[in-house]
Structure 1
Amino acid sequence: MVTPWSTNAVEITQNMGIEGIVRIEEFQPVPADFNDFDPMISQKFSTLTQDMYTVNITPEPILEIEDIDAYNKSEGLALNPEEVAYLNNLATKLGRLLTDSEVFAFSQANSEHCRHKIFNGTFIIDGEEQPTSLFKLIKKTSETNPNEIVSAYKDNVAFIKGPRVTQFAPKSADKPDFYEEKSFDSVLSVKAETHNFPTTVEPFSGAATGSGGEIRDRMAGGQGAIPLAGTAVYMTAYSRLLQDRPWEKAMAERQWLYQTPVDILIKASNGASDFGNKFGQPLITGSVLTFEHEEEGRKLGYDKVIMQAGGVGYGKLDQAKNIPQK
């Protein structure tokens, strides 16, 4: 894969008018026995040659899954019994076995970004189908009280009415030109993006791409908008960073499967800030919530971190929707 560092470096050469460079990567020489690196984002090579960019992988054959429940457990797909039953019924309806990619794709429908199969699903209460889904109920709030909302649930970002502003900018954007003052009606963009499990597995890159996702969505809102400032929220198990916290000693610390809470908080914060800075959007505020609780032999806690990236920005009112306004 091409790293974000390479993308930025190559773009600089293109802006300088240098042609023919398609990739630049950062290399750090280390001793052969060096092990103090994160294998999720770094890799060691014995020599620095062009061959390291060559990938020769033969595609694996398609597998037909006979026992979906066993495949779910062996691959860690986290499908619940109702979902396994649904897939078994689907295979019967289709008259064939489902493939590994089909089962895996279905498992990802319940992703870290959305719960559309729940939000848009049919609600049946006491055997009676309800007239509306959860997502329709959520949308109903803005439909009933639109207030200053310009656009919501149409892009991956929402716009609300902003003030009329004066911009000091070039007269034309396609050639060198004189600067002048321009007034226009603005909109303010608001956005939140979750990146929970990726941040649990690899905090720096997981949080970085979570922040990058919300920046991307606000830039792509309508016909285009500008990101201004970012926020980040983290919810983890107890960090146990200090000794004088008696409430953190109520439960014994677990053997962490991925990263420790303190590593997550440090690396994720660095990652979200790093990606924002590369786009000129500072991370200006955020919050942290830690939670663990044990009751009747059951242990609860934010062992899988909740990482929520948010942000605000602005755009032009007449560009807040994908279809130009007349």
Structure 2
Amino acid sequence: MVVDPYGVLGLTRSATPDDIKKAYRKLVRTSHPDLHPEDAGAEARFKAIAAAHDLLKDPDTRARFDAGEIDGTAAERPQRQYYRDFAQAGDNPYQQQRGFENHVDPADIFAEILRRRTRQGGEDFSHPGFSAPGPDLRYALEVPFLDAARGGEMRITLPDGASIAVKIPEGAHNGQTLRLRGKGGPGFGDGPTGDALITLSVGQHPVFQRMGDDIHVTLPITIDEAILGAKVTAPTISGPVNLTIPKGASSGRVLRLRGRGVSHQGGKTAGDQLVELKIVTPLAIDESLHDFMIEWRKSHSHDPRIDLMNEAAS
């Protein structure tokens, strides 16, 4: 299926970086699965929105998509070039001083050779100057969530049993394709070796969820921490940090830890971590708490649902 990241975000190709950011933030509020747990399609929409935002917010990947070098999933597009693009004077249209340029499709080369051999009555048509680059080889690599967010190194095994190291860039995203120059198939004649194209599949994490460069965490807090406020420890992708819970905090309130999200360019730019609070009652309600809440209810008439009911009736 063809994916248009502009269409996913409801934008045109003339959208500014600010337009992209605003569209993403607006759509996240309507599609995040944690905010819409009863919406069966929310998770799929959210993943598509996040992937589109990841591609378009980066000027380099956006320019490559606009130029047709990558598709809407950030995968490399095959750049097919045919024998007529390399024709020169002489009876061999492929014979050049420097051989084939990158991305020539070997299938086109061999098809032309066979056509020429047919015209020669089956005679072997082999030119000593014939050369072509080797084919690009494609691999899929599953990357743990934290390795993709923080960067790291993994290894893949090649068909011949050898292995090569793959450097996972900081902030790598699902569907991103890495190119390892000279790690593909061998060239023909004096042609260069092809490249290895590694498409990343980023795993899920039991605690963290990624929204573009931001990280989302649901943090359980106790009743007394919510009412009285507290200093607690919260997890981040780079390790635990101290977090202040304000007095009177409610479930669903989101606190922002700036710069604690996914980093790019060696930490020069980074997203935030969004900490959503969730009040958790004790596993066992003791008698003193039970009696206190009964007395408190008698003297307090606060109804947190009144605005909701009024809006529902209007």
Q: TM-score, normalised by structure 1?
A: 0.21
Larger Rg: 2
The one of the two structures with greater contact order (alpha-carbon pairs below 8 A, sep at least 6) is 1
